[in-house]
């Protein structure tokens, strides 16, 4: 296997996660002890927010009214696509029952969680699409109560377009909160919300760490790191298109890796030559984020064959995987480790990030080796049940008792043998 790195990522700096974990732990402990006053304190000191935490119906309606109608139409378009895809996912889930042996009936059913907490990022960018992806999917799954939070802006609160998206998707309660305090408020059920059964949605390192520490007390969608993206391109690809797709993902942040895997040296070199100019054409702070990401986190890898390229992609297990190459059906059948796959030059990760339909909350940092992204399945508990008649019960009892005694579990044996009595 001949793999050549035309560009290699810089070594990652020494992690400061210990300090971050300690800070998040202290914040969560303070909120667990003091409840809403602690949340208000953090909202004021960290986000300069002194207004109401729970958005009133009147304030929600006013925010929605301020959103321009063309933007509302765009948001409705994206919401409809996301809803339709989630509905198709739900339709693929089937409750069933089967006769395992004569007289023993067992089954499976899916039950939605009672309350979901949806975190919508709002720091450098206003992530309208994250509200659509998380809240819509929970609603389609049948979740009874959905609480949504997002960071505030001083004197404004949550941006109007995000409030409109939250309202359109069916959020039952909207809280003017971001960061650790927003996550903790949903987990504990503060400000009129039931305690969340599951917390979902992307966020910064503090949000991700808060979800990690709360996991077990509540469910979470996944452990998330910086977003990442990989493009596979052969000689048929457009260098400008590939370069734009890489730059568009690099603008997420300075720590967001982007990778190009190519079977064509000329194409790879042309992409590398174009990236700098495309980054320079971005506004700030997008350009600075993309420039650092490209300089420190990006890699360009040259492979001898498409099979080698597929093996590299499977090893990286990217969050987003684009293929701009011949024979797209071959790639669809061959590739096995990715959060979401984007096939062909007419398809881009940007579509998936904003409006295409499949969810954009996806596994990062190689987690696509063992898990998929957010879906209706995350909000559903797949549970089983069983019942049996006397004939089945007698046979099960005898066999269960014998296995139990070999294991040394006499209580189990006796509970089973109770079913043998008249």
- Complete DSSP assignment for 332-343: HHH----SEEEE
Residue that has been written with the tokens 């890796």 in this structure: 257
380-388, strands of its sheet edge to edge: 96-101, 104-112, 380-388
Q: For residue 130, how many other CB atoms are within 10 A of its CB?
A: 27
Cβ-based neighbours of 365, under 8 Å, separated by 6 or more? 224, 225, 226, 228
C-alpha distances (whole Å) from 67 to each of 49, 164, 237, 242, 309 are 22, 7, 39, 34, 45
Among 363, 314, 322, 374, smallest CA distance to 339 is for 363
Catalytic residue chosen out of the listed positions 319, 407, 412, 417: 319
The reply to whether 319 belongs to the active site is: yes
For residue 191, give the DSSP letter. Answer: T
Asked if residue 358 lies in contact with residue 180, where contact means CB atoms within 8 angstroms, the answer is no
Query: Rounded to an integer, what distance in angstroms lies between the CA atom of residue 39 and that of residue 43?
Result: 6
For the record, the structure tokens of 400 come out as: 């269960």
Token look-up 């990401």 returns 293
Residue 212 backbone dihedrals phi, psi, to 5 degrees: -60, -45
Exposed (0-12), middle (13-18) or buried (19+): which is 350, by Cβ within 10 Å? middle
Active-site option among 79, 127, 320, 360? 320
DSSP assignment of 340-372: EEEESTT--HHHHHHTSSS------TTGGGT--
CA distance 265 to 285: 32
Pairing of strands 258-262, 229-233: parallel
Q: Enumerate the active-site residues.
A: 319-320
């Amino acid at each position: 296997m001949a793999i050549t790195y035309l560009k290699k990522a810089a070594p990652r700096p020494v992690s400061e996660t210990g300090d971050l974990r300690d800070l998040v732990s202290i914040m969560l402990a303070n909120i667990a002890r003091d409840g809403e006053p602690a949340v208000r304190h953090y909202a004021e000191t960290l986000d300069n927010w002194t207004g109401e935490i729970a958005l009133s119906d009147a304030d929600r309606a006013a925010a929605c009214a301020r959103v321009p109608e063309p933007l509302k139409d765009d948001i409705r378009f994206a919401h409809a696509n996301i809803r339709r895809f989630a509905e198709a996912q739900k339709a693929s889930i089937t409750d069933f029952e089967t006769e395992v042996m004569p007289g023993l009936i067992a089954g499976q059913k899916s039950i939605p969680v009672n309350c979901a907490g949806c975190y919508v990022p709002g720091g450098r960018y206003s992530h309208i699409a994250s509200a659509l992806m998380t809240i819509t999917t929970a609603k389609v799954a049948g979740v009874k109560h959905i609480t949504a939070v997002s960071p505030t802006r001083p004197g404004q609160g949550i941006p109007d377009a995000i409030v409109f998206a939250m309202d359109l998707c069916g959020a039952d309660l909207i809280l003017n909160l971001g960061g650790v305090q927003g996550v903790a408020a949903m987990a504990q059920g503060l400000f009129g919300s039931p305690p969340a059964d599951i917390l979902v949605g992307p966020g910064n390192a503090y949000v991700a760490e808060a979800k990690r520490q709360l996991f077990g007390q509540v469910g979470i969608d996944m452990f998330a790191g910086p977003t990442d993206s990989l493009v596979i391109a052969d000689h048929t690809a457009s260098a400008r298109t590939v370069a734009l797709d890489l730059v568009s993902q690099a603008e997420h942040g300075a720590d967001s890796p982007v990778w190009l895997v190519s079977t064509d040296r000329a194409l790879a070199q042309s992409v590398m030559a174009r990236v700098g100019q495309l980054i320079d054409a971005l506004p700030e702070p997008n350009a600075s984020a993309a420039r650092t990401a490209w300089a420190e986190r990006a890699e360009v890898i040259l492979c001898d064959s498409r099979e080698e390229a597929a093996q590299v992609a499977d090893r990286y297990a990217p969050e987003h995987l684009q293929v701009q190459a011949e024979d797209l059906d071959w790639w669809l059948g061959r590739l096995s480790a990715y959060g979401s796959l984007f096939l062909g030059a007419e398809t881009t990760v940007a579509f998936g990030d904003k409006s295409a339909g499949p969810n954009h909350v996806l596994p990062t940092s190689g987690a696509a080796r063992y898990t998929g992204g957010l879906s209706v399945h995350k909000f559903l508990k797949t549970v089983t049940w069983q019942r049996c008649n006397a004939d089945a019960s007698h046979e099960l009892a005898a066999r269960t008792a014998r296995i139990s005694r070999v294991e040394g579990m006499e209580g189990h044996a006796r509970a089973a043998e109770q079913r043998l009595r008249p």
